[in-house]
Amino acid sequence: EVMGILDGRADLERELRRVLGLRAVRVVSGDVDENPEVKGDLGFTAARFLREVLRRGDVVAVTGGTTVAAVAARMPPVHPGNILVVPARGGVGERVEYQANTIAADLAERLRAEYLLFHVPDRLSEEAYRSLAGEPQIAEKLHLIRQASIVVHGIGQAIAMARRRRLPPEEIAVLEERGAVGEAFGYYFDQDGRIVYQQHTLGLGLGDISGMRAVIAVAGGRGKAGAIAAVAKAVAPHMLVTDEGAAREILARY
Ligand code: G3H
Number of other CB atoms surrounding residue 181 within 10 Å: 24
Supply the residue whose CA is at minimum distance from atom 6 of ligand 1: 65
The ipTM of this complex is: 0.96
Strand runs (DSSP E) across the chain, as ranges? 25-28, 59-62, 84-87, 114-115, 150-153, 156-157, 182-184, 187-189, 195-198, 214-218, 239-243
Distance 132 CA to ligand 1 centre (A): 25
Distance 201 CA to ligand 1 centre (A): 16
Which pLDDT does position 6 carry in this prediction? 55
- Separation CA 164–CA 208 (nearest Å): 25
Q: Which atom of ligand 1 is nearest to the CA of 156?
A: 2
- Separation CA 128–CA 96 (nearest Å): 22
**Eight-state DSSP code of residue 246:** H
**Eight-state DSSP code of residue 36:** T
Could you tell me the pLDDT band of residue 112, with boundaries at 50, 70 and 90? very high
* CA 163 to chain CA centroid, nearest Å: 18
Distance 228 CA to ligand 1 centre (A): 11
Would the pLDDT of 4 be above 50? Answer: no
CB 49 within 8 A of CB 80: no
Distance 160 CA to ligand 1 centre (A): 10
For the stretch 119-141, pLDDT in tens is: 888 788 889 989 998 999 999 99
Mean pLDDT along residues 231-250 = 97
The one-letter code for the residue type at 138 is I
Would the pLDDT of 150 be above 90? Answer: yes
- Separation CA 178–CA 92 (nearest Å): 26
Which pLDDT does position 97 carry in this prediction? 84
Q: Which atom of ligand 1 is nearest to the CA of 70?
A: 7
Q: Which atom of ligand 1 is nearest to the CA of 155?
A: 2
Q: Which atom of ligand 1 is nearest to the CA of 39?
A: 7
Supply the residue whose CA is at minimum distance from atom 4 of ligand 1: 65
Q: pTM score > 0.90 for this model?
A: yes
For the stretch 198-208, pLDDT in tens is: 988 899 999 99
Distance 197 CA to ligand 1 centre (A): 17
Distance 240 CA to ligand 1 centre (A): 14
Which pLDDT does position 91 carry in this prediction? 72
Q: Which residue among 33, 39, 66, 153 has the greatest number of ligand 1 atoms within 8 angstroms of its CB, and so is best to mutate?
A: 66
Q: Which atom of ligand 1 is nearest to the CA of 219?
A: 7
3-state secondary structure of 23: coil
Distance 161 CA to ligand 1 centre (A): 7
What share of the chain has pLDDT > 90, as a percent? 83
Q: Which of 102-116, 119-133, 158-172 has the lowest mean pLDDT?
A: 119-133
Mean pLDDT of the chain: 93
Which of these, 202, 159, 161, 151, lies nearest to 177 by C-alpha position? 159
Would the pLDDT of 8 be above 90? Answer: no
For the stretch 219-228, pLDDT in tens is: 999 999 999 9
Phi-psi region of 81 (alpha: psi -120 to 50; beta: other; left: phi over 0): left
Around ligand 1, the residues with Cβ closer than 6 Å are 63-67, 98, 154-156, 161, 183-184
Which pLDDT does position 1 carry in this prediction? 42
CB 198 within 8 A of CB 204: no
Distance 4 CA to ligand 1 centre (A): 32
